[in-house]
Amino acid sequence: MRFRAKDLVWVLPLALFAGVGTIFSSAFPEDSWRETRSREDGFDGPWGDGPWGDGQLSEALDTGVLVAAAIVVLAALVQLAARARPGTTLLVTGALVGGYLALGFHDGPVFVVLVVSSFVAACHAPLRTWGRCVGVTLVVVLGGMVVRELGDADGFAVSTLWQASATLGLTLAAGLLGSLLRGRRHAAREQAQHAATAEQLRTAQELHDGVGHGLAVIAMQSGVALHVLDRDPAAARAALEAIRDTSRESLGSLRVELSRMAGQEAPRRPRPGLADLPALVARVEGAGVRVTVRDDVSHEVPDGVPEEVGAAVYAIAQEALTNVLRHSQAQHVELTLTVDAQTLRLTVRDDGTGGAVHREGMGLPGMHDRARAVGGTLSAGPRSSGPRPGGPRPGGPQATGRQSASGFEVSADLPLEGS
């Protein structure tokens, strides 16, 4: 069975302490020390006439004492497997301690090993597993105490009850403390994992919003450039310049996010907000879609919009306009910003093909997350038949009288206070 080398740092001292302590507690019981101290000629110190003086130590080290020390040392060394098999380790420790007591050996560090084993097992095993194992362990240990007392010529001692109670209390207390530490470690790991997952999602969302929008604009501008290349070189040149500018911005965003993922210092770019909407609209119009903007925020909110709300507005508008470029085949988009009772409403509606709402990917879920992050709500879906932005198109559903979807609409309500 594998174990970590760093566990030797505490297991070996425990085994040494338990072994040496068992030798002295078994070779020189309490009566021997009391008799030595009551001698009329006084006590001459540990290296004089004490119980280990005059060769008494070598005489006391009989086979029984060495067996007792071996059992306790083995019980300590078993803790090396506690990390991999905590429940089994506790059961084996309980069996060794119970056998030690049943064989009639004296009290000593064997109880320290039991308490340590309960603590270590609880640190590495679920509470239910530890509870089952410690229950069996305590039954075995207390049974060993009873067997030892039954074999004692003096009969059952009242002190055994106190000893059993102390063993039970300390073992359970050590285990509960270990379970508490394990729970805190588990919570810390979950918190770190949650933070890492949140950072990964944030990075993915930033890449999706920035790079995805840039690629959609580049694709549309490329189509425009190819369409007018022969008959309107100036328009083709303007489209190519827009591709150059958009690609630079997208590459800058990609470089920043990749640097963060690699753990490198990356320049913190200011988050785009309401002031950046005109540039966003210009890119979309340059791709061939006419955009009408109605902005009532500037005069309705003279103190300005909170930065978080402004960033959410930009991100939602960017994703909605990107979807227009990629999926809707629209010719006209209305982007409206209004304020009502301290709530900013952003509406993006187009005259495209509409279609079903797809929840997969990061587009619509990302917009919902942006709105929720500032305490707002968002709805998105196809519009029913009705007036199209900019009026009906020739040959469109309104011209033929057919009832069908008439574009797509994204609407977000974001609070201006308490966000």
Instruction: State the average pLDDT for the chain.
Output: 78
Mean pLDDT for the stretch of residues 365-371: 86
Phi, psi of 129 (to 5 degrees): -65, -45
pLDDT in tens, 15-56: 999 999 988 887 765 554 444 444 444 444 443 444 444 445
Assign 3-class secondary structure to 216-250. HHHHHHHHHHHHHCCCCHHHHHHHHHHHHHHHHHH
Q: Locate tokens 């790991």: which residue?
A: 189
Highest average pLDDT, of 142-156, 216-230, 252-266, 387-401, comes from 142-156
pLDDT for position 243 = 78
Bridge-based pairing of strands 332-339 and 290-295 is: parallel
pLDDT for position 252 = 73
Q: From the centroid of its chain, how far is CA 91?
A: 32
- Residue 386 pLDDT exceeds 70: no
More confident residue, 11 or 58: 11
Q: How far is CA 333 from CA 83, 212, 290, 321, in A?
A: 62, 19, 6, 8
- State the Cα–Cα distance between residues 185 and 161, nearest whole angstrom: 36
The amino acid at 35: E
pLDDT in tens, 8-22: 999 999 999 999 998
pLDDT for position 395 = 38
For the chain, give the longest Cα–Cα distance: 125
CB 68 within 8 A of CB 26: yes
- State the Cα–Cα distance between residues 392 and 332, nearest whole angstrom: 11
Residue 3 in tokens? 């174990």
pLDDT in tens, 271-301: 788 888 888 888 888 777 888 888 877 666 6
Q: How far is CA 135 from CA 90, 102, 172, 320, 327, in A?
A: 10, 18, 9, 61, 65
Residue 345 in tokens? 């409403």
Torsion-angle region of residue 58: left (phi > 0), alpha (psi -120 to 50) or beta?
A: alpha
- State the Cα–Cα distance between residues 243 and 219, nearest whole angstrom: 9
Percentage of residues in the chain having pLDDT higher than 90: 28
CB 28 within 8 A of CB 52: yes
- State the Cα–Cα distance between residues 165 and 143, nearest whole angstrom: 13
Neighbours of 93 (CB within 10 A): 28
The amino acid at 165: S
Domains and CATH numbers, the chain: 5-156 (no CATH), 273-419 (3.30.565.10)
Sheet holding 343-350, edge to edge: 290-295, 332-339, 343-350, 408-415, 377-382
DSSP assignment, residue 302? T
pLDDT in tens, 103-143: 988 888 999 999 999 999 999 999 999 999 999 999 999 99
Phi, psi of 388 (to 5 degrees): -85, 150
Quick one: which of 404, 210, 212 has its CA closest to 325? 212
Quick one: which of 94, 97, 105 has its CA closest to 175? 94
